[in-house]
Every structure is written in C-alpha cells, then in structure tokens.
Structure 1
Amino acid sequence: MKEYLTKKGVAYRDVNVAVDRAAAHEMVQKSGQMGVPVIVVDDKVVIGFDQKELDRLLN
C-alpha cells in the first residue's frame, strides 16, 4: 500500500495503531472495526488495500 500511494504521489500519514491508543480509537470511530489498513480519502473510509476503490477516490 505504501508503495502504491508513493507511486501515485499521494501524501499519507502512517500510524501504528498497536502503539498509539488514541489513533486506534479514532480508527474504530471512523471505520467501525479494528482491521488494518484503514485509509481515509476525503472522509471516505477504505478498509484493507482495495486498489480499485483507491484508484476511484484518488482520480
């Protein structure tokens, strides 16, 4: 996923929710679950690396 975002020229923030409890709480609030990765694009939540959905949101 990081490679994909870098190739697309997308700035992103990588957060380790295993050590950042506040970020883990925020992730659950936004996504409704604990799975990772969670990607947020313009308030749209993508759970997992869904390249088709990311392409749609980023283009």
Structure 2
Amino acid sequence: MIQRKSLIPMLEGKKTPKDWRTAQFYNYWSAPFHYGIRTDRYTYVKVKVKDHADELFD
C-alpha cells in the first residue's frame, strides 16, 4: 500500500509526523566502503578498512 500523506504542512514548518524517524542509517558502497548512523546531533561512521578506527562526530 502506498502512503499518501502530503508533505506540504511539514515543509512549511507547521506539522511534524508523530512517528518521524530521529536517526538515519546509510551505506556508501564505493571505496572506501563505509556505513554509519546520523542523528540531528551525532554521526557515527564505520569504515571497512583495516586498522581504521570508528569515528563519532558531534
């Protein structure tokens, strides 16, 4: 089923959905391959390269 909710109220700053996600997971498939999680404040990055430390940005 397709969700059919207008984004106009949100884009105008009038309404934010109650179940709105507060974090995002992402993958980057080109070299160097990495993935991470982003919130409004933090970004955690895991790079899949030997001896590369995980990174956390504020």
- Return the structure number with greater helix share: 1
**Superposition TM-score, scaled by structure 1 size:** 0.22
- Return the structure number with greater strand share: 2
Larger radius of gyration: 2
**Superposition TM-score, scaled by structure 2 size:** 0.22
